[in-house]
Amino acid sequence: MFQRISKITCDKCGREVAVDPRDDDPFLSAFTVENNDIEGWERISDDVHLCPACAATYRSKLAEYEDELRRVIGVTNVSVSVTASN
Ligand SMILES: [Zn+2]
């Protein structure tokens, strides 16, 4: 059974944000509701949420790990600059 929630708590730092208890999915509604307090919050899984500050750190670390995983399997990013010659 779906349990309605009236606030979301950051699992990292404990910061809280109030959400409309009538809203079944505040993360989904964040795309349609203006001035939504949940903007920048991230749902990592059904019961794990991060505030904007902690989510930024999480995304940064996630990008590092993804880069490392690509290196492990031998895929590297190559930057190429192309200039036209006349
Ligand atoms: Zn936080």
pLDDT (tens digit per residue) in 40-82: 999 999 899 999 999 999 999 999 999 999 999 998 766 778 8
Distance from residue 40's CA to the centre of ligand 1 (Å): 11
Residue 38 Cα to ligand 1 middle (Å):
12
| Distance of CA 56 from the midpoint of ligand 1 (Å) | 9
- Please tell me the predicted confidence (pLDDT) of residue 21: 77
What pLDDT is recorded for position 34?
58
Residue 32 predicted with pLDDT over 70: no
Query: Ligand 1 centre and the CA of 32: distance in Å?
Result: 23
- Residues, CB within 5 angstroms of ligand 1 (ion): 10, 12-13, 15, 51, 54
Please indicate, yes or no, whether the overall pTM of this predicted structure exceeds 0.85: no
Task: Locate 30 and state its tokens.
Answer: 């964040």
- Note the pLDDT of residue 30: 58
Could you tell me the CA-to-CA distances from 53 to 11, 67, 72, 74 in Å, in that order? 12, 22, 29, 32
Instruction: List the domain boundaries for the chain.
Output: 6-72
CA distance 86 to 84: 7
Q: Give residue 26's pLDDT.
A: 78
